[in-house]
Chains A and B, each alone.
Chain A
């Protein structure tokens, strides 16, 4: 089955700085890569996703890049704000719905 590794497990950044989270996957058939954000005590929510036919996707301050050859993808958050503090999960899937999640990255934005 698919194995997704996520790094780092914790990330502390100064407000206004950028944050980068990296994930690798094992199954070359995976073609869908979503990112979910989970605030403390809340449910996970989709923030951005990318398909294997696209190398990069942006949505305001967040962007995701994908390197199919190396089987890794990354989440970039620019101009971080206190509300960006949360746990972020990457995931991979070969059929759009059966997701394999990474272990999560706890992001703390320092004021």
Chain B
């Protein structure tokens, strides 16, 4: 199993450009998440999904949109990139609370720079 994968690994954008980050998981997990990681600020939840066709806002959703059309995929979109969105983006997935197992499995991350 590949676990959680993210595409692309690196990307450089100019201010105002758009892009989509793709997250895929092959563990049949119901829940998926997008985080951003900035120095000194830990991991902050952008959006999450508790099942196919559902999405919800996290802690820092402004400037981002998401879609979960298929259970195994969770897409993060930036419609008009800003320098403040320069960050490392992590996708994660989990199976909800079965037998007390709440571990979130993270992807390898995408390093995004907005110039």
Which residues in A have some Cβ–Cβ distance to B below 8 Å? 1, 6, 9, 32, 34, 42-46, 49, 51, 89, 93, 96-104
Contact = CB atoms under 8 A, between A and B. Distances in A.
A102 B40 CA distance: 9
B34 interface: no
Interface residues of B, number: 23
B40 A96 contact: no
A76 B59 CA distance: 28
Contacts of A42: 108
Interface of B: 31, 40-45, 48, 50, 58-59, 90, 94, 96-97, 100, 102-104, 106-109
Contacts of B43: 44, 89, 99, 101
A43 B90 contact: yes
Contact of A97 (B41, B94, B108): B94
A9 B44 contact: no
A9 B102 contact: no
Nearest to A93: B102
